[in-house]
Amino acid sequence: MEKFNFVKPDYTILLASGSPRRKELISKFNFNLKIVKAPENKEIIPDNVFRENIAIHLAKEKSLNYKGLKENEILVTADTIVWKDNKILGKPKDKEEAIEMLEFLSGDEHFVFTGVCLRSINKTTSFFAETKVKFSKLSKAEILYYIENYKPYDKAGAYGIQEWIGMIAVEYIEGSFYNVMGLPVQKLYKEIMEF
């Protein structure tokens, strides 16, 4: 398939991410694309930052920590969080935390926020996408089956909507499905086009 780039023919889009889902999603744009190593990030969240602003803050921090941006490159960084009852759910550090997260999400609504930062040598912009997700009540056996078979330790909120748990647990979503996967592609495409 022929490559194209509506932004500028000689621009390269750099995705700084280790997420296989983000790589898969952005590659479907068929831009001149290069995947680069995501910079090390401590992910320190200031006390006065909440909800979608956490995701935006983390995406900006990743962008600012990336060195070596060149002319005719647009760097894309993103961060996804799950938010419920004024609590942030990032990636679980172990099986016990994954169980706790899924039990917390079970039978209730939560929000998924993805913050995205676009940066060139001359310009920076950031935005976010919000999706509301409703989980049905999950049994302990279902939670354990999912964790043991899908090992969701690299996913915010300990789940991937595109996996088995998405099919059996998600009653409805309001907003972008792809945002829950980790990259709000429709919004990202529009922002790149206008950048």
Residues labelled as active-site residues:
79
Residue 126: enclosing H or E segment and its boundaries?
strand 124-135
Dist. CA 122–CA 47, nearest whole Å: 30
How far is the CA of 122 from the CAs of 10, 67, 125, 131, in angstroms? 16, 14, 11, 31
For residue 117, how many other CB atoms are within 10 A of its CB?
Answer: 24
CB burial of residue 145 (10 Å; 0-12, 13-18, 19+): middle
State the DSSP code for 158.
G
- Residue pair 161/181 in contact by the 8 Å Cβ criterion: yes
Dist. CA 126–CA 34, nearest whole Å: 20
